[in-house]
Structure 1
Amino acid sequence: MIAVLDTSAILSGKFYFGMADQVVTSPSVIKEFSEGGHSWRLMQYSIDAGMKVIAPPESAIEKIREAAIDTGDMENLSEADVEVLALAFHLKNSRLFTDDYAMQNVASHAGIDYEGVLQEGIKKKFYWRYRCASCGKFVEAGIKECPVCGGKIKRVRWK
């Protein structure tokens, strides 16, 4: 099994090397660490222990973006999140390790095996839509103000 780690998995300090044949992450995850300090040392330790940094193909990134749009989670994913999901999607016999519920939701939708790091993980997949808190009109993701009444847009669970 290939363990694909997001930032939270690296920061947890858990040792994945005994349970996986290979441990990998994406370049965007590495960029999230600033040089110096405890977080940087955890990331460096993982690399020194054998963690590989692999960029996923663009085709896998597109598939993940489509899945995130389908579930309504795209607004809550960073570029690093999308890249790690794409890497797990691309690699066969892999398991994604993350505590991010939006990532777990997209992973479930895309057929990616995942596991929580310090949290148990989601039990079922959710779909999200965006709705005006004042008038109830549904709008596209990314809109912050209702085009009908000017109210605030909220993310609501759908299905």
Structure 2
Amino acid sequence: MKDYLRLWAEGLPNQPSRLLSIPITVLGKCIRQIGPRGEFAKVKLTVHPSDSFEVTDRVAERSELVKLGVGWPDCAIFGLLDVLMFAEFGPLFKVCVVLEEVWYHEVDSSWQAFRYAGRDAGRKIIEAIGDDASGSQVDGVAV
């Protein structure tokens, strides 16, 4: 039987990372109503240029998120990587991610809500960078 997950993951590290030249701060959100229950998560983060992928968690509510059981900070970082690894101009993983602030709800926040908020943050980073990869700089990203 084929190991599709392994085959899928093999292509990821083969492409070099684009290089970020300036820090970018974004607010990723997941706010939606699904039936009687909602999903809510917000995360403010900054990506800085780096030689490797790093994460710094400066969120003051870390212990509350652990009690909530949402898998903090993995959920938000995985969502961010879902987008940054598949950017149109190529993967962007040589960054230092600084998790700065978080907003959550005791009932409506979940692992999935924070992953979606991380994805939203990733999309906003890509928007801030721009998608024209024809020159040597792409609005803060060296290509």
TM-score by length of 1: 0.28
TM-score, normalisation: structure 2:
0.30
Greater helix share, 1 or 2? 1
Q: Which has the higher strand share?
A: 2
Return the structure number with greater relative CO, CA threshold 8 A, min gap 6: 2
